[in-house]
Structure 1
Amino acid sequence: MTKLKKEIRQQQVEKLSGFAETAEKNAEDQVLLKNIMNSELLDKCQSIGITSSLTYEVDTSGLIAQLWDQGKDVYLARANDNSERSQDFIYYSYMTKLTKSKFGVAEVSEPDAQINNDLDLIIVPGLAFALDSHQRLGFGGGYYDRFLAKHPSSKTVALVNSKMIFETAAWKIESTDVPIQTIITPESILSK
């Protein structure tokens, strides 16, 4: 039986917030970072879209630093203030000024910063991921699903810790939900 997305989101935020306080989460974040860096996913990718993580999400700060060290172009997601709930990916270097969005996420604050929505790879955040269908449960705004539907040529990957894993989706899958191509867990890399 599928539960309401809102209910599962709330449960996941509580579960992940508790997990964020543990050494186990930090250890899993390090394994996930190692797994993506050692995978072939980044080999042919130059432009990579990513989100600056919240405390209960998989930490992306170390990944961003390693991508810079490899000479990759990093673009941070930024939600647009419009009724379409759209987002863009904005060029991000260690010199870039950031501000907190209304969602509490660090975003590029420079108004004339370079936008690149034609990315080689997008690292997609979420609260829960179904291993069988590669469906994700996001935060409810639909920003990523809308973006991915408009930009289907970008490869997608998600870094998924043990508390985000669902064998199958416990939530209702909508026709607008876009599955993630590759899911990286602490134990494996699953491609669709």
Structure 2
Amino acid sequence: MNLINKKDLRNLQIKKLTEFEKTQQKKLEDVILKEKLIKSPVLHQAENVGISISMALEVNTAPIIAALWKMNKKVYIPRCLPKRKMEFTRYNKNTSLEKTKFGVLENHDPKAEVKNNLDLMIVPGLAYGLDKNSRLGFGGGYYDRFLKKYPTQTLSLVNSIQTFDQTKWKIEDHDIPMENLILINEGDDEQCKS
């Protein structure tokens, strides 16, 4: 099998996801993925949950975060640090957020509660190889570095255009596979309509 260069695949996926974000199908899939997550035993066992504030091309995490609060989960969001490191800060309704140069919202309050030993981390990505639960991220290596230092239960929410039956990119030694993938399956949208 010919592998696709990671940079080329990232550009391709960003283009596909940017188109997909404008569709009704994406809105529907985001709702389905949220519902599947809420029912997930992995989530029910977790008290401290790491999740990012999504960008438009990602699965929308705003309704997921609202649901986590309703379930009395403690929510932590990432903030980037120098040298491609990150940490997770407590996030609630009163947290003020700032947009980074990457367009990501983060909590930059120096007094924010930091917790890196989380029970569950919901990890964003651009593409997922179903054969190995491999994840292609945005290329910064932040999550792989963080998970190497703070291993925890991982989960990704994957919409229909992010999946590859076979991993089509080279898996590096530092790439950490996801333990759980929540996927869109055939017939999911039918269930949503009923």
What percentage of residue pairs aligned between the two structures are identical?
A: 44
Partner Cα separation in structure 2 for residue 178 and residue 29 of structure 1:
24
Q: Which runs of 5+ in 1 are unaligned?
A: none
Where 2:42 maps in the other structure, the secondary structure is coil
Matched to 1:168, the amino acid is: Q
Counterpart of 2:192 in structure 1 is none
The letter of the residue matching 2:130 is L
The answer for the alignment partner of 1:6 in structure 2 is 7
Instruction: Give the aligned partner of residue 24 of structure 2.
Output: 23
Q: What is the CA distance between 1:102 and its match in structure 2?
A: 1.5
* Paired positions, count: 185
Q: In proportion to residue count, which structure has more helix?
A: 2
Q: Secondary structure at the match of 1:140?
A: coil
Contact 1:35 1:186 in 2 (8 A): no
CA contact (8 A) 1:128 1:165 kept: yes
Question: Which residue number corresponds to residue 122 of structure 2?
Answer: 123
List aligned pairs for 1:1-150, cutoff 5 A.
Answer: 1-80=2-81, 82-83=82-83, 85-150=84-149
Provide TM-score, normalisation by structure 2: 0.94
Moved over 3 A (4+): none
Structure 1 residue 14 displacement after superposition: 0.2
What letter corresponds to residue 5 of structure 1 in structure 2?
K
In structure 2, what is the Cα distance between the partners aligned to 1:24 and 1:73? 30
Residues 1:163 and 2:161 are matched in the alignment: yes
* RMSD over equivalenced CA pairs, Å: 0.9
Q: Distance in 1 between matches of 2:171 and 2:40?
A: 29
Q: Is the 8 A contact 2:79 2:108 kept in 1?
A: no
User: Where does structure 2 lack aligned partners over 5 or more consecutive residues?
Assistant: 187-194
Q: Cα distance, 1:39 vs. partner?
A: 1.4
Shift of 1:76: 0.3
The amino acid of 1:59's aligned partner reads N
**Amino acid of the structure 1 residue aligned with 2:89:** I
Q: What's the CA shift for 1:169?
A: 1.1
Q: CA deviation at 1:72?
A: 0.5
TM-score where L is the length of structure 1: 0.95
3-state DSSP of counterpart to 1:129: strand
- Amino acid in structure 2 at the alignment position of 1:98: L
SS of 1:78's partner is strand
